[in-house]
Structures are given as C-alpha cells and as structure tokens.
Chain A
C-alpha cells in the first residue's frame, strides 16, 4: 500500500506552527490555545499512523453466465486492528454493469470482524471477462494519512451470447456415416419411408409392404432413409464489422453462431468452427456438449483484428472442413477476402449456405444528396455480391438486425429446396 498525506495534515501542521509562533511573538496564551488543538491532532495522528493490515478477497457467485444474467460479486475486507474508513471500488469491465449495490463505497471495517461489499452485475454483452481489479483507499482515524492500493484479484467470468432457439435448421445435403437425426438421402435401415422395390431374397419379412404387394400380385418391400449425423462448420467472418453504439454486426453474428451450434449439437451432428478474420482460428468438427462449450468459448474470443494481409481458404487445415460438410457462413459481406474465400469454398464443392448479417441498419444514409446516393450505390453493390453467390448455386439470405434468425434460415431452406427440386 502506498501512503500519502491528506491536505488536512499540511493544513493542520501549518496552522499549528503559525499559531505557536504568533503566540510567541504576541506573547498571548489565547493564540497558543488556538494552535494547540491542531498541533495535538497532528501529533496524535502521526503517532497513530500505521500501515493498514487489510486483507481483501473477491468472490463471484458463478463463473459462467448468459447475456442479461445477473452475477453476484462479494468483496470481503478483513482487518485485525480495524479501519475507520475504507473506500472500495471494483473496476467493472466494459460489458458488465452494476445494477445493485454501491460502487465505490466507503465503509468501516471493525477489528476482527470482516466487512463485505455485495454487488450485482448485469452482463450486458457476451465475452470473456476478468473481474477482480479493486482499488482500496483507507483513511486513518484522524484523517491525516491515506493508504491506497490497487489489487488484482482476478476472477474469470464467461458471458455466453444469449442465442435464439432455432426450431428449424438448414439441413445438410450430405450426411456422414454415424447415426444422428438427419435423414440421409441414401437408402438403408431407418424410419423415414423412401421408396418401394420388388422383393429380393434376403429381405426381411417385416419390410414387406403387404398392401402394395396385394395390388401388384408380387412381393414388394419398403425402403427407408437412414438417420445419420452430419458435419456442420460455422464460418464466422471477423475481418470487419458495422457498429452502431454498443451493438454491431459481429455481435449479431456471434449470437447467431451460438444458436446454430447449439441447434446442430442438439441434433447429434458434429460441429466445427472457423473464425476467418485478422486472426484465423478454427476448431475441428466433433460432437457432444463438450464440443459445444469449446466452440462457444472460441466464439467469446472473437474480435475484430485489423489485418491487411490477403488471406485465402488455403490457410484452413483440410481436417477442419471435412468433405460433404455443410458450411454455414455468417458474414456482413464487407471484406473482399471473406467474399472470395466463400466463393472459393463453393468452387471446391462444399455445401455452402451464407447468412448475410446485414450492415445496412448500422449505417446512416447521410444528410446530403451525395451521401444518400453513395448509400444506395453501396446497397446495389451488396446486391451484386449476393447475385454472384446465387449464380454459383449458393443459398444466401440477408439477415437484418431485429428480425429473427429463424426467418432468415427459412429463406435459406426454401432456396435450397428450390435448387434441389429444380
């Protein structure tokens, strides 16, 4: 702790000295009587000044929360000798807000009786935070000295994006070999009816369709689509973002990615992640809740990192994008590198669906005519990019802030259905 004299010490000392000297010069005891209390306070304060024996602990009531959740923070202060007045301030990271309790607060710490500061923080934005930077200022009993310290008592807190629950997801064109919830296009053992075919030796009796057999006068059997899992890779474009106040197209993308990932994991699919931006990051596809946590943790670290180097899809290791994987791209279509990379993916035969996280609502058309013209041209340019995707058979949909993701996904699903059935 650093010790500092308060202005009071200088003032009292000066007044005491001045009064005592004036008393000597004037030869009047009244003047000395005026100065004596100030001198006494200074002397007693100097004698009583000691380094505070303060112990501070910070506890969070949980380490993981969802956006909008409230997290309890408790700062415990303990001192054997006690402290007359301690000011405590918790540095609250941007993205969290104090909704209950006072911060900073001044309180007394009685001897051998811990005092606590209890705060409630609301997580207003997803992210990985570290809570626990505490500034302490303790005053002595006479208020002549102040002891200050900034403590680092890091407590990690992960705030996950509050994702939309998606009832209908984009179905991959191809499935993998393991069982899952996606109906495969191939025929095999399964529940979903696929077709009828004549009986061949080796077919099981239970598969015979008696009604069709009676109509045709020979044995016919049912064929089914097997239920398989799929590989789904969420491709998040983090080269750039459009921002208005605290919200941005990247926030929108991250929330959508979290919803999509949770949805596909729920369908027992293998999910992977590619963060394509200034820093390229990836996670190989895997299934299960552990993978979901891994991917969402990776999402929390997503941020815009400025980088002007050209980056192509070659940077991503082959295992991250397995053949026949469905790639769901979330991009604001603002950076040529991601636009080109996605077209490149399509050219390599990947099943690609693009959700254009529209930056348009984040942009202001501008006050004058030229600005508004530029704004319209920019929107036309974006339409041209979308047309390029559609031209190569990629389903692409513009998703604007405020509309549910599920509506955008329905458009993609409809587009894919149209393409498949000609």
Chain B
C-alpha cells in the first residue's frame, strides 16, 4: 500500500498523466510484486523505477523544490526494509518472541533517520554555494568513490552458506 502510494504521488502531481510517469509507476509496482512474492532481487529495480518515476516528475515539470521529498525518501526506505523483513521471515527460522517488535521499531527509526537525512539534504541544497564545473566534478568524483567503496565492501570472504 505504501508503495502504491509512492507510485501514485508523482502521477497525481502531474497535470494530465504523463506517459513517462505512468511507465515508472507501472514498472515500479510490477517489479515490487515479485519482490514481495520472494524474488528479492527484483526489489532494487522496483525501487529504482519508483525513484525514477519521482525524478521524471521534475524532469517534466521543473519548478520549485518539492519539500515532500524527505517523506517520499523515508517511505521508499520503509518499503525496502519491509520487503527485506518479509524475505528474512521466509527462512525456516522461527523468530523468538519480541524479535519482530524490536525490528518494527528499528524500521521506524530508519524512517525517522531517512526523513531527517532528506530534510538535511534539501536544507543544504538551499544554501547557495555558487556552481561551476569544479563543484560538478567534485560531485561526480564523490559518487564514483562511493560506488568503489561499496563494491569493496560487498566483496566478501564467504566460502559457503549453510542451509538454515
């Protein structure tokens, strides 16, 4: 439902349903369903489609900064966390009493953190620092460095995975 809300929001915000936004919404929801059914590898694509739909809204519409973006970001993160939670519970291990309650509060904490982070990003973006190629290049370098860092983190020393 939350994901459907996320898909509907950009569509509702465009005057006349733009084809690009509609494609994003359908794709996002279409990929989210298999993710919920257990194909968790479809989730990043579903989230990317929903995020793309949201980004397409601004590409089409332009205009002022959307102050609801942190809420959208928090909702997107919550959707992701809930799908991974459901996926974890598909394993045969039965959760001990209280474990799911703790995780629920953990997801809430994530949502609050995401809200704060999004707001912080929007706040920083409102500060005028000028612009130019240098700043753009710094941003690109930062993004590339982040990708390299994450790739290094993903590399593991795993040999085999026991069946639980």
A interface residues, Cβ below 8 angstroms from B: 2-22, 24, 26, 28-42, 46, 49, 84-85, 87-89, 102, 104-108, 135, 137, 139, 141, 143, 145, 148, 150
Contact = CB atoms under 8 A, between A and B. Distances in A.
B143 A41 contact: no
A-B pairs with the 6 shortest C-beta distances? A29-B125, A37-B114, A13-B150, A107-B96, A4-B158, A30-B69
B3 interface: no
11 contacts: A4-B161, A13-B150, A15-B44, A28-B65, A31-B51, A33-B117, A37-B114, A39-B146, A40-B113, A49-B153, A84-B102
Interface in B53-97: 54-55, 58-59, 65-66, 69-70, 72-74, 76-77, 80, 84, 88, 91-96
Contacts of A16: 146, 150
A113 to B, nearest CB: 13
A7 B45 CA distance: 13
B130 to A, nearest CB: 14
Contacts of A106: 91, 93-96, 99
Contact of A30 (B58, B113, B159, B162): B58
B98 A36 contact: no
Contacts of B58: 26, 28, 30-31
B36 interface: no
Contacts of A4: 156, 158, 161
A31 B53 CA distance: 11
A64 B150 CA distance: 52
Contact of B70 (A33, A49, A85, A108): A33
Given A26-B58, A33-B70, A104-B164, A18 B48 contact: yes
Nearest to A87: B93
A93 B136 CA distance: 62
A2 B44 contact: no
A13 B150 CA distance: 6
A31 B88 CA distance: 29
A33 B136 contact: no
Given A40-B117, A104-B92, A105-B96, A31 B55 contact: yes
Interface in B139-164: 139-140, 142-143, 146-147, 149-151, 153-154, 156-164
Given A37-B77, A46-B153, A137-B164, A32 B147 contact: no
B150 A42 contact: yes
A71 B151 CA distance: 48
Given A13-B154, A30-B65, 7 more contacts: A13-B151, A20-B143, A22-B51, A31-B51, A84-B102, A87-B91, A104-B92
A11 B65 contact: no
A3 B121 contact: no
Contacts of A89: 93, 162, 164
Nearest to B97: A107
B140 A3 contact: no
A15 B114 CA distance: 14
A108 B154 contact: no
B24 interface: no
Residue of A11, A88, A102 contacting most chain B CB atoms (<10 Å): A11
Contacts of A11: 43-44, 47, 80
B29 interface: no
Contacts of B146: 13, 16-17, 20, 39
A108 B96 contact: yes
Residue of A6, A29, A33, A135 contacting most chain B CB atoms (<10 Å): A33
Contacts of A20: 139, 142-143, 146
A88 B44 CA distance: 29
Nearest to A45: B153
B72 A34 contact: yes
Given A87-B93, A108-B98, A34 B118 contact: yes
B122 interface: yes
Given A37-B117, A40-B113, A24 B122 contact: no
Contact of A29 (B52, B65, B96, B142): B65
A30 B54 contact: yes
B76 A34 contact: yes
Residue of B51, B52, B59, B70 contacting most chain A CB atoms (<10 Å): B51
B154 A9 contact: yes
Nearest to A145: B156
Contacts of B119: 33
B41 interface: yes
A42 B143 CA distance: 13
Contact of A26 (B55, B96, B121): B55
